[in-house]
Amino acid sequence: MIRRGLAFAGAVLLAGCMVGPDYSRPAAPVPVAFKERAGWKLSQPADAIDKGAWWSIYHDPELDRLERMVALSNQNVKSFEAQYRNAVALVAEAQSGLYPSLGIAPGISRSGSGGGGFSGGTTGGTTGATGSSGSTSHFSGGGPLTSYSLTGSASWAPDLWGRVRREVESSVAGAQVSAADLANATLSAQGVLAADYFSLRYQDSLAILLQQTVEAYRRALQITENQYRAGTTPPLDYATALAQLQSAQAQLAGVEVLRQQYEHAIAVLTGHPPSDLTIPPAPLTNDVPVAPPGLPSTLLERRPDIAAAERAMQQENALIGVQVAAFYPTISLSAVGGFAGNPLSQLLNASNSLWSLGAAGGETLFEGGLRTASVAAARATYDSAVASYRQTVLTAFQQVEDALSSLRILEQQAAAEARAVQSAQRAVQVALNTYRAGTAVYTAVITEQTLLLVDQQSALSVQQGRLLNSVALIQALGGGWTTHDLPAPDQVKTFNPLLP
What does pTM read for this prediction?
Answer: 0.83
Does residue 207 register a pLDDT over 90?
Answer: yes
Quote the pLDDT of residue 47. 46
pLDDT above 70 covers a percentage of the chain that reads: 85
| Average pLDDT for the chain | 85
E strand or H helix at 473, and its extent? Answer: helix 442-476
Quote the pLDDT of residue 234. 87
Which of 112-121 are b and which e, b meaning 16 or more Cβ less than 10 Å from the residue's Cβ?
eeeeeeeeee
In angstroms, the CA 272 to CA 264 distance is: 9
Q: What is the mean pLDDT of residues 239-253?
A: 93
Does residue 257 register a pLDDT over 90?
Answer: yes
> What single string gives the DSSP state of each residue in 11-54?
HHHHH----SPPP-PPP----SS-GGGTT-PPPSP-PPPPSS-G
Q: Which of 214, 157, 493 is nearest to 358 (CA)?
A: 157
Quote the pLDDT of residue 74. 92
Quote the pLDDT of residue 340. 79
Helical spans, DSSP H, in 74-162? 75-95
Quote the pLDDT of residue 279. 96
Q: Report domain extents, the chain.
A: 17-100+162-328+381-487
Quote the pLDDT of residue 231. 77
Q: What is the mean pLDDT of residues 37-47?
A: 50
CATH fold of the domain at 17-100+162-328+381-487: Outer membrane efflux proteins (OEP) (1.20.1600)
CB 326 within 8 A of CB 500: no
CB 224 within 8 A of CB 441: no
Quote the pLDDT of residue 133. 40
Quote the pLDDT of residue 38. 62
Quote the pLDDT of residue 142. 55
CB 60 within 8 A of CB 130: no
Does residue 122 register a pLDDT over 90?
Answer: no
Does residue 1 register a pLDDT over 60?
Answer: no
Quick: pLDDT tens for 361-380. 888 888 888 989 999 999 99
E strand or H helix at 102, and its extent? Answer: strand 101-111
Q: Which of 433, 442, 434, 438 is nearest to 238 (CA)?
A: 442
Does residue 195 register a pLDDT over 80?
Answer: yes
In angstroms, the CA 51 to CA 187 distance is: 12
Quick: pLDDT tens for 275-325. 999 999 999 999 998 888 888 888 999 999 999 999 999 999 999 999 999
Quote the pLDDT of residue 417. 96
Quote the pLDDT of residue 2. 43
Quote the pLDDT of residue 201. 97
Between 350 and 354, the more confident residue is 354
Residue 331, beta-bridge partner list: 361
Quote the pLDDT of residue 129. 36
E strand or H helix at 358, and its extent? Answer: strand 353-362
Which of 360-389 are b and which e, b meaning 16 or more Cβ less than 10 Å from the residue's Cβ?
eeeeeeeeeeeeeebbeebbeebeebbeeb
Quote the pLDDT of residue 496. 53
In angstroms, the CA 335 to CA 354 distance is: 11
Distances (CA, A) of 334 to 1, 87, 153, 243: 13, 31, 7, 94
Residue 125 CB-half CA count within 13 A: 11
Q: What is the mean pLDDT of residues 59-86?
A: 94
Q: Strand, helix or coil at 332? A: strand
Q: Which of 200, 215, 329, 323 is nearest to 265 (CA)?
A: 200
Quick: pLDDT tens for 387-436. 999 999 999 999 999 999 999 999 999 999 999 999 999 999 999 999 88
Quote the pLDDT of residue 43. 44
pLDDT tier at 17, thresholds 50, 70, 90? confident
Q: What is the mean pLDDT of residues 141-150?
A: 74
Quote the pLDDT of residue 55. 94
CB 210 within 8 A of CB 248: yes
Q: Which of 127, 111, 461, 479 is nearest to 304 (CA)?
A: 479
Kindly tell me the burial class for residue 235, based on how many C-beta atoms sit within 10 Å of its own C-beta (0-12, 13-18, 19 or more). exposed
The phi-psi region of residue 357 (left if phi > 0; otherwise alpha if psi is between -120 and 50; otherwise beta) is beta
Quote the pLDDT of residue 115. 52
Quote the pLDDT of residue 50. 56
